[in-house]
Structure 1
């Protein structure tokens, strides 16, 4: 191995450690209730240069996506399990309750879910998997006559984000969340 190749390997390992340290500090900040995710502050607390943070995470949203990747994967797994349920409508209802619970628990998660643009291709890929699972549920429920025509997976995601916004603006009342979700579920039914 040439000296430049060895130096490159060391830099890659250092870069990986720095990225992990930045994520650790950002998680600690979130755990302490600071959801500002100010990249300059995180760099200082992580003991790395601001440029290092920006190389890995060009903006707050990119950092948020990285922090939520595991949670988002759990959502995708839940969507795929719901899509595999024998009763598509039951699977859809269960999944929508699961998603709403996740986005009400974490405003950052809601921001990543509703974002039109993703910083990381992995986030885009997971959103694609989520949409495919929801689309499969919608199609199966539609074939069973339980869901109206014209509603697509991205519509469902937007509607859930709308419920999340309504609940937050109304004081995070869990009872209201359940009522709003029931209205959405009723609205998915075919017109009478």
Structure 2
């Protein structure tokens, strides 16, 4: 027994394509930018330094006094020397009064003359530095500088431009040259 056979033949489709590619242009204009930097504000305040030198004590130690003080000192010293002179004369007069005429024959006057004559040494000598150390007073106040700076922020103005986009879509056109086909035959 013979079985029938099926024969299948296919024919593929054939197309003729006409393709027009799409066209796209993109342009990005540059951003417009303006930048300005305002100058900083600077304020400087200074206070001058001050130097003071007080040499009045050194001048006094050297014997240079103000006129009014010099007059007062000389008047005081004169008064003291006058009082010393008065007390010495009173003492010598009392000495002559008490001791005179007792057989001394003028010896008391000789004694008083001996007391008042001859060199008198003022005392132990030592080196003295005039003016003394530290007699000139120096005071210095340094200068001060105060600086205030106020910075100003930069001013930035930016304008962003949109991109320019030009697009032409593509086209595809097809023409069928051969139609697809399926042939089925039964053999036998």
Task: Pick the TM interval, shorter chain.
Answer: under 0.3
User: What is the TM-score with the length of structure 1 in the denominator?
Assistant: 0.25
Larger Rg, first or second structure (1 or 2): 2
Greater relative CO, 1 or 2 (CA 8 Å, sep 6+): 2
Structure with greater helix share of residues: 1
Structure with greater strand share of residues: 2
